[in-house]
């Protein structure tokens, strides 16, 4: 409770500092906005119900990219982690794809899949996939060989090894990557909307930029931040539930 109060106090102090700097002309309001005007935009959007339609589209794109990217990243990471020869063969290609700035794929996906939800989801998947893939791959590779050898001596089948040895080892890496993957999924959705769409929070931010309404831009950023924090909190709850077996996990999350 004390930590929550301290965080709330810090947030209020930052808002007060923002208000003071803009009201006294130390920061030009045209470029930095005013917190009270940002609040008015949020109230207007919520009161009219307009924001929910756009937010629903962005959340749908984000959720699809998040779920599909995780599924592909986990399955590929397990497969290559358990197939060292295939991993050695594909290693330079995987590194090349990861090194490529994937945001530049947005125009290509827009050409391939159109300006609808599919192109935003595709971009989000490419951002989420590599974050999850490399963590799962590393988690599988970090399994103690002695543990694997002992399990095999006790008669563990390949399926049992994956379920009881490799997968628990990878789980910690998976959840550590999911916190980053949440932000990446939002980036994919919003950047895709920003480059071409007729709905979504990214579209609202683009429209606000076009009319030089910096307060509406900040309002869109606030909404995206709150949603990202909510999704991250859901990941934290899932992590606490599924990693109860991990030593010190309870204390680490309090």
Summarize pLDDT for 35-79 with one digit per residue, the tens: 999 999 999 999 888 899 899 999 999 999 999 999 999 888 888
Higher-confidence residue: 4 or 152? 4
Q: What is the pLDDT of residue 192?
A: 86
Higher-confidence residue: 197 or 51? 51
- The CATH superfamily label for domain 36-245 reads MetI-like (1.10.3720.10)
Q: pLDDT exceeding 90 applies to what percent of the chain?
A: 22
Give me the DSSP letters along 43-101.
HHHHHHTHHHHHHHHHHHHHHHHHHHHHHHHHHHHHHHHT-HHHHHHHHHHHHHHHHS-
pLDDT(251) > 70: no
Residue 204 CB neighbour total at 10 angstroms = 23
Q: What is the pLDDT of residue 146?
A: 73
Q: What is the mean pLDDT of residues 234-246?
A: 73
DSSP symbol at 196: S
Higher-confidence residue: 41 or 143? 41
Q: pLDDT exceeding 70 applies to what percent of the chain?
A: 93
The phi and psi torsions of 95 (rounded to 5 degrees) equal -65, -35
95-104 as b/e, with b when 16 or more CB fall inside 10 Å?
A: eeeeeeebee
Q: Rounded distance, CA 105 to CA 97, Å?
A: 11
Higher-confidence residue: 2 or 46? 46
Q: Rounded distance, CA 193 to CA 33, Å?
A: 23
Predicted confidence (pLDDT) per residue in 147-182, tens digit:
667 777 777 777 777 777 777 777 777 777 888 888
Q: What is the mean pLDDT of residues 101-129?
A: 87
Q: What is the pLDDT of residue 218?
A: 93
pLDDT(125) > 70: yes
Length of the chain: 254
Q: What is the pLDDT of residue 244?
A: 64
Q: Assign 247 a pLDDT band (cuts: 50, 70, 90).
A: low
Angle at 227 between CA 222 and CA 230, to 5 degrees: 125
Q: What is the mean pLDDT of residues 170-199?
A: 83
Predicted confidence (pLDDT) per residue in 75-114, tens digit:
888 888 888 888 888 888 888 888 888 788 888 888 888 8
């Amino acid at each position: 409770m004390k930590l929550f109060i301290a965080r709330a106090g810090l947030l209020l102090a930052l808002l007060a500092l923002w208000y003071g700097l803009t009201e006294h002309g130390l920061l030009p309001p045209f470029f930095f906005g005013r917190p009270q005007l940002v609040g008015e935009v949020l109230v207007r959007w919520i009161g009219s119900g307009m924001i929910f339609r756009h937010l629903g589209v962005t959340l749908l794109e984000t959720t699809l990219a998040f779920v599909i990217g995780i599924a592909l990243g986990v399955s590929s990471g397990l497969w290559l982690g358990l197939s060292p020869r295939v991993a050695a063969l594909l290693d330079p290609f995987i590194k090349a794809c990861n090194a490529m700035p994937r945001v530049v794929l947005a125009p290509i996906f827009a050409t391939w899949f159109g300006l609808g939800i599919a192109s935003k989801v595709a971009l989000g998947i490419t951002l989420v996939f590599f974050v999850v893939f490399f963590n799962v791959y590393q988690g599988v590779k970090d399994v103690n060989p002695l543990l694997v050898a002992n399990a095999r001596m006790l008669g563990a089948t390949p399926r049992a090894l994956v379920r009881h040895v490799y997968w628990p080892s990878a789980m910690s890496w998976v959840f550590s990557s999911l916190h980053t993957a949440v932000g990446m999924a939002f980036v994919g959705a919003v950047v895709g909307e920003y480059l071409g769409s007729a709905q979504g929070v990214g579209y609202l931010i683009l429209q606000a930029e076009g009319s030089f309404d910096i307060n509406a831009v900040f309002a869109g950023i606030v909404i995206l931040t709150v949603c990202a924090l909510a999704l991250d909190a859901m990941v934290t709850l899932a992590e606490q539930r599924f990693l109860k077996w991990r030593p010190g996990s309870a204390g680490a999350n309090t």
